[in-house]
Structure 1
């Protein structure tokens, strides 16, 4: 028997802080226990692409994959020891939370310890989990929000003010949102830059999370080039999806060997910022290892709580 876990099950069983811990632990093992991650594969179709990604985490005793098409997403989680399906999990909520959690891990290791102000561009579901992750790893004092729709950004600021223990204010421009922020987050579907390097103050940490394909970008070249350290989930996936990095590499202005993987930061192989004035960047793409590590936590919680629906898969 296997478990089927719905979006509602996932939302009841875990939160963003749980996911930050789960991802930090699995990144701490990557490269030490045979962990593997297959970068996202896209099957082009007339309307949109079918997306497939897979990973294994021997330290957790699992392997699995995520498949998504449009707004429909599932993670299949397998036991390495028993060679059986443990769970089929609806993965839209899972994906939003794990994306926030990846930024949480990056921020824990890259942002200044005293970072307390956040500027976030974007007001969607991903923006919410980004802010929850920031609150899980830093003591926030204030948040500024910008989105193109005034009504939506005002509503989002009000919603997050009720969730976060700090001031949340909507701004009238992206520049006003970003300037002087300790942590800057881009969580958009933009095809042209929404964050410009000239806006960044010394000591800022940037999480760019919305663009995971060559047709999209959220940062201008200056924002990337000003960073003393550029990190990503996985270099191999970044080479095909991170347009901000790909364009600079092709122009000879960025060396892929200098792009740091999140696992190296967590394991202490590479130090984070060298000094408080450094600008640091996490280019988030979302990888299967994050999905299955979080899925394992969800599965374990479901088993303990008797949640989910048992399905016959043998």
Structure 2
């Protein structure tokens, strides 16, 4: 029977490690040209918005194929659809509906960046932003590093306090709300920027040597959440999809900065084809743009998990 899952099925701390491990395999497959991941395709409905399609799959011992579709329509309610097939048997393995899978996928990619670019003994996290992406990014960091403390800042005091309370409960981690971005990132080994800000919220002077930075929010010349000087001081700059970084309607935020040509594919770093962190003092930067099609990989791993009853406290 084809499985159909919804957002309420995609909760619980067991999900993030499943997603991270599935994406690790997918990025290794990408480095050897076994990941199917063409660019997004937009179909416009004038005056209403778009339907956005991504297709993805893996060519390995148990090949999979699938698609994701989501909308940018004007309404307040949005539902994504991800469908997964066995590329061997043509069997529809399952469908996942809702919003959580996309956030889980993005968070897990951020976790891969933390795993491969942050210092192995990283313990403290600074977070700018308190929304869904900030939550999954922190959960992913906690899944790959033995964290002691997190500090969070966002413009809304209530939101950052709620974030701190929820994530402390979910992760068993000391999470402290603070009243400025600089306090959040002070002495942090890992910095997560997951905002909607069109102007920089973190500059290089806010960061200590050896920090790893994930930027998840705006990253075009029209607006960007991270100071350009952070890229200047970074020994390694990586992204999950150089193709997507080049494909923005507005140019990527590092265009013209002298750093655009330095961007490495995270898949090549994971596979050992490109250098990653070489010392505890190096600053590293990961620019998350969303590798199209990888939702299919995460969906397949969840649908195939023997622990499909993953309901429990959200994390």
Correspondence for 2:313: none
Distance 1:33 1:81 in 2: 19
Deviations 1:120-175 (A, max 9, x none): 01111111111111111111111000011001111211111212233211111112
- TM-score using structure 1 length: 0.88
Compared CA separation, residues 282 and 305, structure 1 to 2 (3 A): closer
The SS at the match of 1:246 is coil
Give the CA deviation at 1:114: 1.1
TM superposition score normalised by structure 2? 0.88
2:252 corresponds to which of 246, 255, 267: 246
Q: Which deviates the most, 233-242 or 114-123?
A: 233-242
Q: What SS is found at the alignment partner of 1:11?
A: coil
Structure 1 residues 51-70: aligned runs within 5 Å: 51-59=52-60, 60-70=62-72
Match of 2:9 in 1: 9
Over aligned residue pairs, what C-alpha RMSD do you find? 2.4
- Give CA-to-partner distance per residue, 1:35-60, whole Å, 9 cap, x none: 22112233444244322211221124
Distance 1:9 1:247, change over 3 A: closer
The count of aligned residue pairs is 303
- 2:89 aligns to what SS in structure 1? coil
| Residue number in structure 2 paired with 1:142 | 149
Q: How far apart in 1 are the matches of 2:80 and 2:113?
A: 25
For 2:199, the equivalent position in structure 1 comes to 192
Which residue of 94, 104, 112 maps to 1:87? 94
Give SS of 1:277's match. coil
- Please give the alpha-carbon distance, in whole angstroms, between the structure 1 residues aligned to 2:2 and 2:80: 18
More moved, 80-89 vs 115-124: 80-89
Cα deviation, 1:258-314, whole Å, max 9, x if unaligned, reads 311121121111232111111101111122342111111112127x7599xxxxxxx
Inter-partner Cα distance in structure 2 for 1:276 and 1:265? 17
SS at match of 2:135: helix
Picking from 112, 122, 126, the partner of 1:115 is 122
Greater Cα offset, 165-174 or 75-84: 75-84
The answer for the alignment partner of 2:75 in structure 1 is none
From the two aligned structures, give the one with the greater helix fraction.
1
- Separation in structure 1 between the aligned mates of residue 128 and residue 196 of structure 2, nearest angstrom: 11
Report SS of the residue matched to 1:83.
coil
CA distance in 1, matches of 2:188, 2:7: 34
